[in-house]
Amino acid sequence: MLLSLNNLSLILRVPAAAVCHFAVALRNWLYDKHLFRSSTVAVPTVCVGNLAVGGTGKTPVIEWLVRTLSPSYRIAVLSRGYKRRTTGFVLADSSSTALTIGDECMQLHSKFPAIPVAVCKDRLKGIRLLLKACPDVQVVLLDDAFQHRRLQCGFNILLTVADRLYVDDHMLPWGTLRDTKWQSHRADTVIVTKCPEGMKPIDKRLIDKSLNLAPWQSLFFSSTHYDPLPEAVQALPAGADVMLVAGIARPGYLVARLKSRFPDLRLFAFPDHHRFSRADIRRLEKQAETAQAVFTTEKDRARISSGMFSESFMDKLVVVSLSVDIDNSQALEQQLHKYISSCPS
């Protein structure tokens, strides 16, 4: 019976994916043939995007770009602000929360308060309003705008996860792709993210061959590194009662990392960008009564506030920070500087 149900599910998803593929391909064709208008802006733009839905590591790459480019240029970040309760253009300020600008943008704003962070569903309109509010901005980083064809971005960085390359994936709802594989040709650079540590050169060559990039495209590999835990947490015994609260697309990497130290880790997983309900809060606070530490991600922390959870829960909260390491990152830096310097001032 189980096998037949799985087969039925697949039978239903395949034609739905075909319809989705046709609709997306038609939209892209209309842009490619200039029947739909695509516009440029008077500032260098660097887009970080993907073909799949979530979990490719866009925010850590945006953070890497901020750290890499901000010493040389006045940087700003523009995103959609997914799951925010506001509409239109919003520029982050001291009163911003995850509800007003989205959890990922709140994370960026908290880490880089000197960098303008704005949200707008219409990226073209958003850039114009951002430049009006911050006329000294020299480079705009666009988070998750690869499918936003109304804006012709200057430099496109496409991300794909090492264990689920877009060439091996399928269109929604059969797979996780929200855009056709062919659109990868619009990328200037492809970064294979979340590579295992010590990835062998032969494995990289196999991925390179599988992606079959165009001559003008460059390929990079990156791995995710979690920052050291606080000393007090590191001192906890392996059998300590700890829990993880994670509302991200692919928590498996973090779970594996924490379980290597705490095998009995209790996981409380929620959908990506999940907004905690009162029932969620009561449940988590009850479970945290016996816990010695409550781990969470930076993105989840942006949605967890002291006014929402009890003081005892917040006292046990440990935010696990991560960063990205890009192989041969100097070459990518050179490409970015070359692109930015080639743009009219």
Q: Is residue 133 part of a domain?
A: no
Same domain for 164 and 298, yes or no, is no
Only one residue has tokens 């705008």, namely 145
Tell me which of 69 and 252 has the higher pLDDT: 69
Reply yes or no on whether the pLDDT at 68 is more than 50. yes
Quote the pLDDT of residue 296: 97
Same domain flag for 207 and 273: no
pLDDT at 237 over 50: yes
CATH number of the domain that residue 295 is part of: 3.40.50
* 333 and 219 share one domain: yes
- Is pTM beyond 0.85 here? yes
Please name the residues in contact with 315: beta carbons below 8 A apart, sequence gap of 6 or more.
none
Mean pLDDT of the chain: 94
Residue 197's pLDDT is: 86
pLDDT of 43 above 90: yes
Shared domain check, 205 and 182: yes
Q: Are 165 and 311 in a shared domain?
A: no
Domain range for residue 309? 231-320
b/e map 100-117, b = 16+ CB within 10 Å: bbbbbbbbbbeebeebbb
Give mean pLDDT, residues 194-203.
Answer: 94
Answer whether residue 297 is part of any domain.
Answer: yes
pLDDT (0 to 100) of residue 172: 94
How far is 313 from 287, CA to CA, in rounded Å?
10
Q: How many domains does the chain have?
A: 2
Q: How confident is the model over 274-283, as a mean pLDDT?
A: 95
Same domain, 313 and 172: no
307: pLDDT confidence band, cut at 50, 70 and 90?
confident
Q: What is the pLDDT of residue 1?
A: 45
Q: Is the pLDDT of residue 332 over 70?
A: yes
Q: Give me the pLDDT at residue 54, please.
A: 82
- pLDDT, tens digit (0-9, with 9 covering 90-100), for 87-110: 999 999 999 999 999 999 999 999
Q: Do residues 212 and 245 both lie within one domain?
A: no
Query: Does 65 share its domain with 210?
Result: yes
